[in-house]
Amino acid sequence: MSIISNTVDYLDQDTLLEGFFAFDDQIEGQRPVVIITHAWAGRDSFVEDKAKKLAELGYLGFALDMYGKGVLGSSPEENSRLMQPFMDDRALLQQRILAALTAVKQLPWADNRKIAAIGFCFGGLCVLDLARTGADIAGVVSFHGLFVPPDNLPQPEIKAKVLILHGHDDPLTPTEQVLGIQEEMTNAGVDWQMHTYGQTMHAFTNPVANDPDFGTVYQPAADKRSWQSLLNFLDEIFTD
């Protein structure tokens, strides 16, 4: 095994973005792609580590950039300021993540017939929106994502399979939103599933999350279980 990683610049109109990719150089030819979408702070070491971990499993891991090259938040206030324009303008969010999909398809190691997208927190909302655009990808996975529906796609035509990994005690996703996304997926005819972890709050995959007052707490069991659910899902969608 020889994991190669690097960054690549790409554009969304006039915005310069920087993706991070990783792959096993011992594997010949193209391989399935897993796009990874960051949480509200921006493209950081957390998602880069996920790209490397997926590369070790034989995938091309691509950690996209929603904010712009070198743009990272360093506090909850900065993170919120970076995320809010995309929450306010979901068409902009969808355009930005579609730019990443276009970019990763240009990489020579990418098997464009086998693409999935996963996302964490804000990134979970992003990959659900990617599916809502009707993007021709195999599946999306939301880890402790946000469920606020977009106002510009009231009746989305979703082609991807959807896996939602959710903490039962997540204060950022009210019960009505949990029920709402289940109803949305059902009405759209999606092959969807939701795994809900008891005694689990928001950001349960992030080892540095430790703010119960805010609702973000690492949960090792849910982290391990959700990762295994991801691997099972990828195996399913890429062997269909």
pLDDT in tens, 178-235: 999 999 999 999 999 999 999 999 999 999 999 999 999 999 999 999 999 999 999 9
Distance in angstroms (rounded) separating the CA atoms of residues 122 and 117: 13
The amino acid sitting at 163 is L
164 beta partners:
142, 194
Would you give the distance in Å from CA 176 to the centre of its chain?
A: 22
Which 8-state DSSP code applies to residue 14? T
- What average pLDDT does the structure give for the chain? 97
Domains delineated in the chain: 3-239 (3.40.50.1820)
When pLDDT is averaged across residues 11-36 and rounded to a whole number, the result is: 97
pTM across the whole model: 0.97
Q: How many CB atoms lie within 10 A of CB 29?
A: 7
Place of tokens 């391989």: 31
pLDDT in tens, 111-151: 999 999 999 999 999 999 999 999 999 999 999 999 999 99
pLDDT category at 1 given cuts 50, 70, 90 is: confident
Closest Cα partner for 33 from 89, 93, 108, 99? 108
Output the six-digit token pair for 176. Answer: 């009505």
